Amino acid sequence: MSSGRAPSCGDACTLDRRAAVTPRAGGRLAGASAVAVVLAAACSPGSARDSSTLGADQDAWRELVADVRCGAHVTDLMASWGARGRGMPAAPASGHREHVRIPTDRIGQWVLLDVTLEAVPSITRVTGAGGERVTFGEDCGQSLEQVPAPVPVTPRDSDAARGFTDADLSKRLARGAGVVVYVWSPHMPLSVAGYSEIARAAAALGLDVVPLLFAGSDRAFAETESRRGGIPPDGLREVAAVELLFRDAQVHAPTVLVFDAGRVSAALPGYRDADGYRAFLAGFLDAGPGDS
């Protein structure tokens, strides 16, 4: 568990260059809604690459719906929602239906595709403010259903304790520096100890670290453990961003995600020492857009 070796799951994957991303110079899901399935891990240690790669594969998602019923209608709607990339597999649902989560050209907006070749497809546009599910009938007519927001944020007494939302993520990325998101939990001691390790590794490479609390953690215990681990007060903000949840930021504690120059890494779960984290971060930075 404490090995410094970064698994191959950490290979870089490309994120479309969104308006909120400037190139660098130099949980818990509330409610049993249709979108809850997306918390399944799409990239585990040992897999070759996160399947959300974009860049040259921006339209790869079209292959998923090319041969399904009402494929042209599904394609048109997903394109209007800004779907990008190959998508990431989600947990299977009842009836062996296939689920795929697909990023879009907007941070915090994702598409959940529910389809098999034989079944009537449905697609859901998911955002932090709520979502809408469109189901296609036998004649390809569309029915619309509203779905609840997957990451409602419980109001807190202080800004430091409120959730870290997609808007917060966009603002951090707009600063231009690479960002390392580090999700920790007071209930996972190694994630507390790992903060100082990731902080040293990121500082050596000129990256900013954003520590975030695993949603649903015990608040009082988190405050105590954050002081023990040297985690700053803003590290008590809970994960409340669709972009982070759908990229498996809460698959484990700790989990690391890296955003830099329009790209995002695969999720890296598990404790590493500073050397291990630095190897992972450097590998992502060195890959570059052309190699992702």
What pLDDT, on the 0 to 100 scale, is given for residue 98? 67
CA distance 111 to 82: 9
Predicted local confidence at residue 17, as pLDDT: 27
Rounded CA-CA distance 27/248 in Å is 9
- d(CA 119, CA 70) in angstroms, rounded, equals 10
Whether residue 64 contacts residue 52, with contact meaning beta carbons closer than 8 Å, is answered with no
CB 238 within 8 A of CB 253: no
pLDDT for res 152: 57
Given a cut of 50, the residues of the chain with pLDDT beneath it are 1-56, 155, 157, 290-292
Q: pLDDT for 125-143, tens place per residue? A: 999 888 999 999 989 999 9
Length of the chain: 292
Query: How far, in Å, CA of 68 to CA of 42, rounded?
Result: 23
Query: What does DSSP say about strands 179-184 and 208-213: parallel, antiparallel, or unpaired?
Result: parallel
Q: What confidence tens digit (pLDDT) does each residue in 133-179 have?
A: 999 998 999 999 998 877 655 545 455 557 999 999 999 999 988 99
Instruction: State residue 91's pLDDT score.
Output: 62
Question: Which pLDDT value is given to residue 87?
Answer: 85
Classify each residue of 186-216 as buried b or exposed e, where b means 16 or more C-beta atoms within 10 Å of its C-beta.
bebebbbbbbebbbebbeebebebbbbbbbe
* Strand pairing category for 98-103 and 142-147: unpaired
Return the CATH architecture of domain 8-30+43-50+153-291: 3-Layer(aba) Sandwich (3.40)
Contact between residue 98 and residue 119 where contact means Cβ atoms under 8 Å apart? no
Q: Specify the amino acid at residue 165.
A: T
Q: Which two tokens stand for residue 40?
A: 């399944």
CB count within 10 Å of CB 256 equals 27
Ranges of beta strands (E only) in 188-273 are 208-213, 255-260, 263-265, 268-269
The number of helix segments (H) and strand segments (E) in the chain equals 7, 12
- Helix or strand (DSSP H, E) at 126: strand 122-127
- Going by C-alpha positions, the residue among 30, 17, 14 that lies closest to residue 153 is 30
Distance CA 103, CA 100 (A): 10
Residue range(s) of every CATH 3.40.30.10 domain in the chain? 8-30+43-50+153-291
